[in-house]
Amino acid sequence: MNLRTPRSEKEADAKENLTEHQAEDLADNLAEDVIEGMADNLADDLTDNVTEALTEDQAERVIDLVADKRVDIKADREDYVVEEETEADK
């Protein structure tokens, strides 16, 4: 009798189906991991680029503010000197 053959075929089919499902699940998981990794890297890069741009922009603003303040201080000093000279001439 050949009763073992159908069972063996069923077992083989079941193993093949299981293997196919495992392969599909593995492929899906790998794809998901790759996509998540790429998204994380892109987000990190964008954050770094924005932070760097903001830092550069902030540095330029500070430099401009310091330069403006120096001009203001110089103008105030010149006004003070002129006032002192005017008072001294009186």
- Has residue 14 been placed in a domain? no
72 lies in some domain: yes
pLDDT score recorded for residue 52? 87
pTM of this prediction? 0.44
Tokens of 60: 């330029």
- Is position 25 within any domain? no
pLDDT at res. 30: 92
| Position 33 pLDDT exceeds 80 | yes
The answer to the question of residue 70 being in a domain is yes
What pLDDT was estimated at residue 19? 87
Domain for residue 65, yes or no?
Answer: yes
Number of folded domains in the chain? 1
Answer whether residue 71 is part of any domain. yes
Of the pLDDT bands very low, low, confident and very high (cuts 50, 70, 90), residue 4 is low
**Is residue 41, in this structure, part of any structural domain at all?**
no
Average pLDDT taken over every residue of the chain: 85
Does any domain span residue 36? Answer: no
Instruction: Decide which of 2 and 42 is more confident.
Output: 42
**In which domain, by residue range, is 86 found?**
57-90
